[in-house]
């Protein structure tokens, strides 16, 4: 693309103007600069070069490839399956669906490979009724057809799909059980995090203490709502962040965990076709169990 620098653009950085004109990200522009594909008056330009009115700006930006969900032969633990849905036990460390930076190896890729056909819904999130963070392990239901996806989506919004999590947290809450209410949205100071903010979406988490350790405990969390990072945000908000949470707590390598110590261990809902009440449980993975044992057996952990 060729462009004559306007008086309004004069003095601005080359990469800023190219990003605005092309709609590309700064990272894409930086790559184009590195490859010599951004020219000013016919010569390769630095990203930081200030432009002058009337200069000839030339650039070529590679199109951004959108991730797609394709079938992959990846084994995943299937807890239950019928003609309408699948309940899986997602391993910690597995991303739920494709996105930029994680275009393959996700749960969705694995499920597509397992069923051998297309699933309903969003092209990057086919069949998904709900999601789990990458490093959260546990139960997740996937719909195989439009009717099931719609029915379970409605049930989720009506809060009749029950989800329970086990989590290891720092410290011991003052009350053995309680409810945390706090609207959640992106953290205005850090776009990579979520936080309790006044104009966020309503979020409610119930908890009760399962096990107590010298400096930590295991809590049972019950979700009424399903906001992104909800348990992690709420646990940190009451002063008891999840063990080894790199975003809302701190990394604790001694435990050997991939990420936060959180496991979706129980899932219950009514089957959309049969009307039968279904309930599933999945034990926490070995690394979670080892972390719990370490907390129980050491006054230092």
As a whole number, mean pLDDT of residues 100-118 equals 89
Cα dihedral 89, 90, 92, 93, rounded to 10, equals 160
The average confidence (pLDDT) of the chain is 93
The pLDDT tens digits of the residues spanning 154-205 come to: 999 999 999 999 999 999 999 999 999 999 999 988 888 999 999 999 999 9
- What's the CA gap between 62 and 13, in Å, rounded? 20
Domains of the chain with bracketed CATH: 2-59 (3.10.290.10), 65-158 (3.30.2350.10), 159-301 (3.30.2350.10)
The DSSP symbol for 217 reads E
Place of tokens 């930086």: 30
- The catalytic residues are 133
Decide: 267 and 88 in contact? Cβ < 8 Å: no
Mean pLDDT: which of 35-39, 87-91, 115-119 is highest? 87-91
- What's the CA gap between 24 and 270, in Å, rounded? 45
Q: Which residue has the higher pLDDT, 26 or 231?
A: 231
pLDDT of residue 80: 98
Cα dihedral 112, 116, 120, 126, rounded to 10, equals 10
Confidence label for 263 from pLDDT (cuts 50, 70 and 90): very high
């Amino acid at each position: 693309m060729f462009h004559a620098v306007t008086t309004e653009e004069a003095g601005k950085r080359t990469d800023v103007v190219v990003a605005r004109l092309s709609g590309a990200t700064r990272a894409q522009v930086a790559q184009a600069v590195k490859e010599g594909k951004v020219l000013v008056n016919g010569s390769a330009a630095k990203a930081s070069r200030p432009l002058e009115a009337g200069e000839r700006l030339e650039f070529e930006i590679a199109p951004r490839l959108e991730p797609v969900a394709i079938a992959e032969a990846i084994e995943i633990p299937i807890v239950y399956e019928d003609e309408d849905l699948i309940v899986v036990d997602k391993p910690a460390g597995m991303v739920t669906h494709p996105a930029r930076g994680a275009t393959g190896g996700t749960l969705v890729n694995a499920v597509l490979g397992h069923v051998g056909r297309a699933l309903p819904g969003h092209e990057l999130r086919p069949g998904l009724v709900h999601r789990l963070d990458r490093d959260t392990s546990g139960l997740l239901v996937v719909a195989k057809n439009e009717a099931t996806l719609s029915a379970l989506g409605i049930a989720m919004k009506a809060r009749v799909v029950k989800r329970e999590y086990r989590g290891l947290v720092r410290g011991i809450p003052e009350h053995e059980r309680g409810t945390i209410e706090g609207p959640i949205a992106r953290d205005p100071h850090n776009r990579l995090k979520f936080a309790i903010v006044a104009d966020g979406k309503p979020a409610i988490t119930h908890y009760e203490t399962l096990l107590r350790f010298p400096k930590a405990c295991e809590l049972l969390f019950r979700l009424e709502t399903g906001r992104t990072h909800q348990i992690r945000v709420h646990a940190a908000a009451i002063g008891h962040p999840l063990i080894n949470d790199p975003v809302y707590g701190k990394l604790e390598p001694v435990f050997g965990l991939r990420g936060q110590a959180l496991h979706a261990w129980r899932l219950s809902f009514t089957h959309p076709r049969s009307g039968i009440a279904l309930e599933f449980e999945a034990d926490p993975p070995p690394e979670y169990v080892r972390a719990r044992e370490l907390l129980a057996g050491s006054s230092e952990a």
